[in-house]
Amino acid sequence: MCHVIVTCRSMLWTLLSIIVAFAELIAFMSPDWLLGFPRSDPTVSRVGVDSGEYRPSLGLYSRCLRIGSQGVGVICGPYAGTFGEVASGFWQAAMLFLAAGTLVLGCVACISIFSLCFQSILRKSIFNICGLLQAIAGLLLMVGLMLYPAGWGSDKVISYCGAEALPFRPASCSLGWAFYAAIGGTLAAFLCAVLSAQAEIATSSDKVQEEIEEGKSLICLL
């Protein structure tokens, strides 16, 4: 029989697991990892078009640039048509680790929804399994984030940040929100791993067992 068990700690873990997975996915896809040095485009200095300075942005595989000849502002899209065209080997490795970590977090987010009804898989606690997976995902993301700055010396980054750009030194560029979102998601993944243990304790408490023995199928404890 399926018992739907909802506690504050298990619900917090479920919601945070979903948020972390979405945060990492959005950060991975965003072009706002690096913000280039301010520049202006004289070809758009006409009535009705913003001709002020702008900062192009560069992501792991995408970028945002102002296309002055079209006069339509900033256009974003992938700069790499294939995986081999990614800016540097370090970024290719970073993408693999970040993608793997994000995939694991996505799978855990899906499983966490079903944890409201199923608390074990093959007699193993679903919370402990998911917590272990979230810790592994956090490690994968951490490696990816450490590899990312090593690729700042690539020709692509130099074209955005200036000739002084070197590995771990972005020169005239600054870090965009996507990089910080990825860091925050990584830290939150480790927090989820800790909360999963608390969710396991909350859903297997004596109060929950008493509710099950009374024949209740929906158990909600604050």
94: tokens are 């970073």
- Contacts of 77-85 with C-beta under 8 Å, sequence gap 24+, read 79/156
Question: For residue 71, is pLDDT > 50?
Answer: no
- pLDDT score of 99: 97
> Which one, of 34, 210, 201, 60, lies nearest residue 131 by Cα?
201
Question: For residue 47, is pLDDT > 50?
Answer: no
Lowest pLDDT segment from 16-20, 142-146, 217-221? 217-221
- Contacts of 114-118 with C-beta under 8 Å, sequence gap 24+, read 115/10, 115/14, 115/199, 116/4, 116/5, 116/6, 116/10, 116/14, 117/2, 117/3, 117/4, 117/5, 118/2
Indicate the pTM of the whole model. Answer: 0.85
Lowest pLDDT segment from 5-19, 69-83, 167-181? 69-83
Phi, psi of 198 (to 5 degrees): -70, -35
Ramachandran class of 56: left when φ > 0, alpha when ψ lies in -120 to 50, beta otherwise: beta
- pLDDT score of 217: 61
Domain residue ranges of the chain, discontinuous segments joined by +: 4-31+88-219
Is the domain 4-31+88-219 a CATH 1.20.140 member?
yes
Kindly report, residue by residue over 96-123, the tens digit of the pLDDT: 999 999 999 999 999 998 887 777 777 7
Percent of residues, the chain, with pLDDT higher than 70: 81
Taking the CB of residue 193, how many other CB atoms lie within 10 A of it? Answer: 22
